[in-house]
Amino acid sequence: MKCTAAEIAKMHLPGLPKTKANILIRAANEGWRFEEKTGRGGIQRVFEIPERYLKVDVLPVAAPKSAEVVATIAGGRVDPKLLETVIRAMDEWVIEHDVALAPERKASIAVLLYDYIDKGASDEDVTRLLQAIK
């Protein structure tokens, strides 16, 4: 996945800083690969996020209680409609791009997407994140 430092900061990925300046420091310290692109405002670095920051440990899902779906993602309650949206979007993307995912990888990606969308990611942000799966 390739993003600017500001975009990476907005993702709030586990293990990464939450500000553009600190992302730039981390990228420099860890030697992240990047490309320089010219655009509005001058030259911009587009970083390749290391795989280790895109992996998410899947937390166990609690057994359903009555008609209510109860689960844990990143320590909070799950919105069943948002989770359904995440799974449908991911399934459509996987089919459209002919990507094969192992169930544990698919679960990890679903958790990451859920958290990302729940924090206000745009459709463009989600597309960029899904492209990192390839």
Asked if residue 37 and residue 26 are part of one domain, the reply reads: yes
CA-nearest of 58, 83, 79 to 68 is 79
Token pair of 61 as six digits: 């899902």
Asked if residue 127 and residue 81 are part of one domain, the reply reads: yes
The count of domains in the chain is 2
Q: What is the pLDDT of residues 80-116, one digit of tens each?
A: 888 888 888 888 877 887 777 777 778 778 888 888 8
First to last CA, the chain: 9
What is the bridge-based pairing of β-strands 42-48 and 34-39? Answer: antiparallel
Q: What is the pLDDT of residues 17-31, one digit of tens each?
A: 999 999 999 999 999
Asked if residue 96 and residue 74 are part of one domain, the reply reads: yes
Q: Is this model's pTM higher than 0.75 or not?
A: no
Range of the domain at 47: 1-54
Residue 16 burial by Cβ neighbours in a 10 Å radius (0-12, 13-18, 19+): middle
